[in-house]
Chain A
Amino acid sequence: MSESLSMLIQLTDGLRLTLDSERGPSKTNLFELRGSSRFRCCGKCVVTLSPDSFQMPGQAPQSLAIVRDLSRKGIGLIAHQQWYPEQMLNLLLENATVEARVARVRRAGPCCFEVGLIIVKHELDRVADFA
């Protein structure tokens, strides 16, 4: 993990509660049209905007984020800043690197955005950690 990055997210009470208490598959509804189940998890990751991706005004190219859920094809993050749809991000997790495309973003509160990403490529550094 990068030592120079600070956690700037201001978690809302609702999100804090979700992260603290919920585990296992998360709820969905018909309109979300999900292909695979999401599982709650909680961990940090370093998010870096891919050099090939477009950058929007005022965006920091690298920051810390919280991983909130994972599915076979997607990953859900909580970030302090807005990421924009179609941006390509490189995620450095504790035991994996993931290349993912931003699908949608929702503001949960000040300095708190829920970001849904589609996993394009992933590499596990230490497979044993997932056992």
Chain B
Amino acid sequence: MTSLSFIPISPLTLSSLFPVGVDVYSWHTGAKDQILFLAADQIATDDFLKKIASAPELKLFISQNDGAEFQKYLRSHFDEWFEDDSIPLRNKTAMLSEVIRNVLSDEFGHNDSSSIVATAKTLGSQVANLASHKSLTGSELCHILHHDYGTFTHSANVGFYCSLLAAQLGYSGDELEDITTGGLLHDLGKLEIDERVLNKPGKLDEFELRTIKEHPLTGFRRLTKVKEATPKQMLMTYQHHERLDGKGYPVGIGGDEIDIVSRICTVADVFEALTSNRPYRRSLSHKQTLEIMNEGVNESFDKEVFQCWSSIVCRRLSK
């Protein structure tokens, strides 16, 4: 199977009410070819979906050419699913994650900051709505989300993590939506970086490193031009690479000079980065990631925020 012609989808996006409208394939490690799993016009039965839910190793794919059609399926039923209490939270989260990745990809592609902020706000509100249900655990969320390396996937995941973390820290309502939206927007400045630099597998030279380090500033500048952008979103974009010990960038502020929403974003950002595949390394396990991050507490990360995130992730790991 070539990764170029197929894109992964979450098994949780399949529904027993509507056909997906595109052929869905499965693939197992070591298998030579993909197998047709569900035909475009087939509707999955509830039993079938239960079996899928109990097979976490199952990987499903659709043809890259069917990406738009799959999004049409998700978006046309999304509101209905979102309101339906019989649909488990994890399925709604998976659906929303798929939609967000695609919407962000579209919006970032058009490169219109006002439109990006407006869209992120709508999506942020839906994510915050899901995250405010305390039943969704961190590790469950990590399992549902995609972990390929792409700015859209990363931004979508950081949005989800910020939302869960902020909800756990006591934020709710408009503030929670605001923080979630900030998480979705935090890497806006990367739009101005050449993809060859962002995806370079080798070591970055000094000029490339400087270019990468400009992205919080570039993203902040973009948001200053958008009337709807809020101070929280602007600070999360500007300060998410600052460190508590003052050795971060772009300003080098430390401690309480870094806004609490930015400290939330930093923890979510680093956790997401380490648990995702990157062009230059494989993803780390949650346990390894938390151990590495724990070493950076009080230097890179806010202790209280990190411990809160750690407890969200470990709650499930210890079961």
Which one, A69-77, A81-89, A123-131, is touching chain B? A81-89
Contact check, A85 vs B231: say whether CB atoms are below 8 A apart: no
Residues on B lying within 8 angstroms of A by beta carbon are 206-207, 210, 217, 220-221, 224-225, 231, 234-235, 238, 246, 250-254, 257, 259
Question: In chain B, what residue has the closest Cβ to A58?
Answer: B259
Q: Which residues of A contact B210 (CB under 8 A)?
A: 31
Contact check, A84 vs B220: say whether CB atoms are below 8 A apart: yes
Contact check, B224 vs A85: say whether CB atoms are below 8 A apart: yes
Given contacts A31-B207, A107-B246, 6 further A-B contacts (CB under 8 A): A31-B210, A56-B234, A82-B257, A85-B238, A106-B251, A106-B252
Q: Which residues of A contact B220 (CB under 8 A)?
A: 84-86
22 pairs across A/B with beta carbons < 8 Å? Answer: A31-B206, A31-B207, A31-B210, A54-B224, A56-B231, A56-B235, A57-B231, A57-B235, A57-B259, A82-B253, A82-B257, A84-B234, A84-B238, A85-B221, A85-B224, A85-B238, A86-B224, A86-B225, A104-B250, A105-B251, A107-B253, A107-B254
Contact check, A86 vs B251: say whether CB atoms are below 8 A apart: no
Contact check, B251 vs A82: say whether CB atoms are below 8 A apart: yes
A116–B30 Cα distance when bound, in Å, is: 57
**Chain A, 71-114, CB within 8 A of any chain B CB:** 82, 84-86, 104-107, 113
Residues on A lying within 8 angstroms of B by beta carbon are 31, 54, 56-57, 82, 84-86, 104-107, 113
A46–B50 Cα distance when bound, in Å, is: 68
Q: Which residues of A contact B246 (CB under 8 A)?
A: 107
Contact check, A86 vs B253: say whether CB atoms are below 8 A apart: no
Q: Which residues of B contact A31 (CB under 8 A)?
A: 206-207, 210
A104–B250 Cα distance when bound, in Å, is: 9
A82–B235 Cα distance when bound, in Å, is: 12
Q: Which residues of A contact B207 (CB under 8 A)?
A: 31
Question: In chain B, what residue has the closest Cβ to A56?
Answer: B231
Contact check, A107 vs B251: say whether CB atoms are below 8 A apart: yes
Q: Which residues of A contact B259 (CB under 8 A)?
A: 57
The smallest beta-carbon distance between B211 and chain A, in angstroms, is: 10
Of the listed residues A54, A85, A86, A113, the one surrounded by the most CB atoms of chain B closer than 10 A to its CB is A85
Question: In chain A, what residue has the closest Cβ to B254?
Answer: A107
Contact check, A86 vs B252: say whether CB atoms are below 8 A apart: no
Question: In chain B, what residue has the closest Cβ to A107?
Answer: B252
Of the listed residues A56, A84, A113, the one surrounded by the most CB atoms of chain B closer than 10 A to its CB is A84
Contact check, A85 vs B217: say whether CB atoms are below 8 A apart: yes
Q: Which residues of A contact B231 (CB under 8 A)?
A: 56-57
The smallest beta-carbon distance between A14 and chain B, in angstroms, is: 14
A31–B231 Cα distance when bound, in Å, is: 30
Q: Which residues of B contact A104 (CB under 8 A)?
A: 217, 250
A31–B76 Cα distance when bound, in Å, is: 49
A105–B250 Cα distance when bound, in Å, is: 8
A54–B210 Cα distance when bound, in Å, is: 27
A28–B224 Cα distance when bound, in Å, is: 29
The smallest beta-carbon distance between A110 and chain B, in angstroms, is: 9
The smallest beta-carbon distance between B189 and chain A, in angstroms, is: 11
Contact check, A86 vs B221: say whether CB atoms are below 8 A apart: yes
The smallest beta-carbon distance between A10 and chain B, in angstroms, is: 13
Q: Which residues of A contact B257 (CB under 8 A)?
A: 82, 107
Q: Which residues of B contact A82 (CB under 8 A)?
A: 251, 253, 257
Question: In chain A, what residue has the closest Cβ to B214?
Answer: A104
